[in-house]
Structure 1
Amino acid sequence: MGPQTQQSSKIWTTIDIDAPGKQAGFLMLPLAVHDRSGDDAGYNCEPIPIVTIRNGEGPSVLLMAGNHGNEYEGQIILMKLIRALRCEDVRGRLIVLPGANAPAVRTDRRNSPLDDGNLNRHFPGGPSGGPTSMIAHYIESELLPRVEYVVDLHSGSLTFEYLPCAVVARPTGSDDLNEALTRLRVFGMPIGMIIEHSTGGDGALIGACRRQGVKHLSTELGGGGSVAPRAIEMAEHGLARLLHHVGATSRPLTHWPPPECRLLKRVSSRDYVYADAAERGLFEPLVGLNDTVCEGQVVGNIHFTSTPWRDAEPVIAKADGVVLTRRIPARTGRGDCVFALGRDWVPSSGK
């Protein structure tokens, strides 16, 4: 594990994170902004729920959801897990943040209402920054130095639906890569994705984990402002398998075997499929999640409600790939990403 950041966090806790047993409480985020009612919040705090379970010797694992407040599947999975787990089920320590960006979770938004902060872009943060920066700083300076593993559960948020998958960032060493691929297969979603970097770069949690020497796995589990039962079920069993695999549970919490896992890499963002219509219209998709598309293929049409007699404008794929995400809102215009694509990952080259 890497060195702990020297500056002390201003977030305080209602529990002793290092104590044995099962504890539930809050990280208390000091507010120096107007609170949810608009009153002066200079003495108020935003409570961020935290649960710790510590029992004997074993690895330490941080489980997170609500990094983005309107991604729901992971929040549900972790709330169910903390209610179900007993202290004797755990070997070592679990630290669980089921709603890491609590202001965003509270208001059902991707970003914090307090400072419009996207937590997954704010690492390493700072103890005297805005609320989102303070949360990022606490996670990186106080929690990551305590753990060997992080599982960060994401889904597609309100505007995207994601092909359910587990994700690892590609480590530099071959031994580390093999270990990361093993964790990916143990988690066992039908799709396993290997990425070079997070979309958020070094400001994402993946960047924080790399700085602190912590092994990271994340998910994408549906989205679209709803909750995907099948994605939750697959990820619950995957998380149970992974926790037992790394030695964090004293017994298997599932007997489901991992399914066959197809390994994909995400293509460059310039090869995603974007709408190019100057006028916004209604997007009609012609392909769906997990479909294979080819360069030059018409993958959708944009229909113009202001001039309904006008021909629809086709949306054309500029590259080959497998559809990983699809846009949910029908009202679409130039620059909107309608599909993100992936391609099969070749283990021999990683390319």
Structure 2
Amino acid sequence: MAGTSIASEVDFEATGKHAGFLRVPHSVHRSAYGWIGVPIVSIKNGSGPTLVIMAGNHGDEYEGQIAVANLARTLKSADLQGRVILLPMVNAPAASAGLRTSPIDSGNLNRLYPGDPSGTPTEMIAHYVEEVILPLADYAIDLHSGGSSLFYPPTLLRGMGHSAQEAEALMRLQEAFDLPYAWVFTSGGGRQSTARTAMGAANRKGVINVMAELGGGGDVTPDILRRTERGLKRVLHSLGMLPDYSPDATRGTRELNAQGSIYAYSTGLFEPLKEIGEDVAKGELVAFIHRPDTPEAEPEKITSPYAGIALCKRAMAQVKRGDALFQIASDARASSD
């Protein structure tokens, strides 16, 4: 299928709920004809669209993995109209190890699309997702978080759409997911996308897709997990796939455009002076970097080159030159004036 080296234990055309593994071939000393298992669940019933939901693109991002696994366990095919394909830990080696990248080949899956059917295990997974899974889909959701090093509030990421119909569909997904923030990309996307991310892969295949950043810091935040699970069910309902579900009232989403990240230029200990969601002025002092190894030295002062709000913050105190400390975003309407 599509020149892939991966075999699926799941028949995506079969009605009902079917769980198994994508078998990624991996010949090593201890297992000459071995394979790596990427868990996958397909749930199909009646007529309706196909929605692909995946998490674990980065293995140290946890809310999405739990939410997708919970959905796989609790969603009954009889309640569904259409097809849902669930990949709770799509970069399975990284997710099993709790690492951003695969311990097998150091592959960062969300930087390797469109992949290579004869490449490393991570490249083979990327190829299978782009060339086999996504062509089955009408819609796709890719769940992330800030991983071990960053923390995001619940934030949906989307493009602006390349047609009136696509823009309307993206807004429907945003309103249904109903997260506090939406990071709206103002460029890129479409079938000509060169992005090496899952979002880029979906765009190349003409799939209406969104991404989400959901917490981070190597932790699981119960409120963010609940918001994620609520959002997935609301999306299914909005697409007509979960007709008997009764969504609660919409809470509202603040749309933002990213302005840029603030980086460390010294090695030391990061003392943030801003919390997520707080206003930041251009030139404002936002952090210190301390050097306990040179206690007589003054801490480095970090100022913001951007105005807006702190959309994400580093979760680790230790920093080196080049580490992101904050990401700053501003209200979408204000940035487009």
- One fold, TM greater than 0.5? yes
1:109 partner amino acid:
L
* Residue correspondence of structure 1 range 330-345 to structure 2 within 5 A: 330-345=317-332
* Alpha-carbon distance between aligned partners in 1 of 2:289 and 2:9, rounded to the nearest angstrom: 53
* Alpha-carbon distance between aligned partners in 2 of 1:331 and 1:7, rounded to the nearest angstrom: 45
1:26 maps onto 2:21 in alignment: yes
Counterpart for residue 127 of structure 2: 137
Match of 1:318 among 284, 305, 323: 305
Per-residue deviation, 1:334: 2.5
Per-residue deviation, 1:332: 1.7
1:114 partner amino acid:
I
Q: Secondary structure at the match of 1:132?
A: helix
Deviates more, 1:7-16 or 1:131-140: 7-16
1:276 maps onto 2:265 in alignment: yes
Q: Secondary structure at the match of 1:46?
A: strand
Per-residue deviation, 1:322: 1.1
Match of 2:116 among 108, 126, 132: 126
* Residue correspondence of structure 1 range 1-351 to structure 2 within 5 A: 7-32=2-27, 34=28, 39-195=29-185, 196-197=187-188, 202-252=195-245, 254-267=246-259, 271-277=260-266, 280-346=267-333
* Alpha-carbon distance between aligned partners in 1 of 2:117 and 2:196, rounded to the nearest angstrom: 16
User: Against the structure 1 CA distance between its residues 84 and 221, is the aligned structure 2 distance closer, same or farther, given a 3 Å change threshold?
Assistant: same
* Alpha-carbon distance between aligned partners in 2 of 1:133 and 1:301, rounded to the nearest angstrom: 39
Contact 1:237 1:256 in 2 (8 A): no
Contact 2:2 2:132 in 1 (8 A): no
* Alpha-carbon distance between aligned partners in 2 of 1:191 and 1:219, rounded to the nearest angstrom: 10
Q: Secondary structure at the match of 1:137?
A: helix
* Structure 1 gap segments, 5+ residues each: 1-5
* Alpha-carbon distance between aligned partners in 1 of 2:26 and 2:199, rounded to the nearest angstrom: 27
Q: Percent identity?
A: 38
1:84 partner amino acid:
T
* Alpha-carbon distance between aligned partners in 2 of 1:337 and 1:251, rounded to the nearest angstrom: 44
**Regions of 4+ moved over 6 Å:** none
Per-residue deviation, 1:182: 2.6
Per-residue deviation, 1:40: 4.3
1:250 partner amino acid:
P
Task: State the number of aligned residues.
Answer: 333
* Alpha-carbon distance between aligned partners in 2 of 1:85 and 1:350, rounded to the nearest angstrom: 41
Deviates more, 1:221-230 or 1:14-23: 14-23
Contact 2:22 2:37 in 1 (8 A): yes
* Structure 2 gap segments, 5+ residues each: none
* Alpha-carbon distance between aligned partners in 2 of 1:234 and 1:350, rounded to the nearest angstrom: 29
User: Against the structure 1 CA distance between its residues 69 and 283, is the aligned structure 2 distance closer, same or farther, given a 3 Å change threshold?
Assistant: same
Contact 1:238 1:258 in 2 (8 A): no
1:283 partner amino acid:
F
* Alpha-carbon distance between aligned partners in 1 of 2:19 and 2:148, rounded to the nearest angstrom: 29
* Alpha-carbon distance between aligned partners in 1 of 2:248 and 2:155, rounded to the nearest angstrom: 17
Q: Secondary structure at the match of 1:42?
A: coil
TM-score, normalised relative to structure 1? 0.91
* Alpha-carbon distance between aligned partners in 2 of 1:303 and 1:197, rounded to the nearest angstrom: 38
